[in-house]
Amino acid sequence: MNEEYGLIVEKDFYVISAMKPNRYLEVINNRNMVVKARNGQRGQVWYFDQRSLTIKTRINNQSWHIQSNGGATKMEIQGTNSQWW
């Protein structure tokens, strides 16, 4: 458990939207993130990486990224640079 971030290290989890009907965050096209119905695919499985302090996808082990150094509204995944914005 990482006490600072409140996440269990390397444990799989899902990101579920609070909007009805509870859609799951999923990676599509190995880069973009969308909300979709639960489907059991690895693109909907996430984990906290202690070494990089990032949330990664199980589909290709890349990390969440917010464009424009965190100043944009679009999130995607990309190779880890270990910086929080």
> Could you report the per-residue pLDDT of 5-40, keeping only the tens digit for each?
999 999 999 999 998 888 999 999 989 999 999 999
The pTM assigned to this predicted structure is 0.85
Query: 54-67, pLDDT tens digit by residue?
Result: 999 999 999 988 88
Banded model confidence at residue 84, pLDDT cuts 50, 70, 90: low
Banded model confidence at residue 75, pLDDT cuts 50, 70, 90: confident
User: At a CB cut-off of 8 Å and minimum separation 6, what does 33 contact?
Assistant: 25, 26, 27, 64, 75, 76, 77
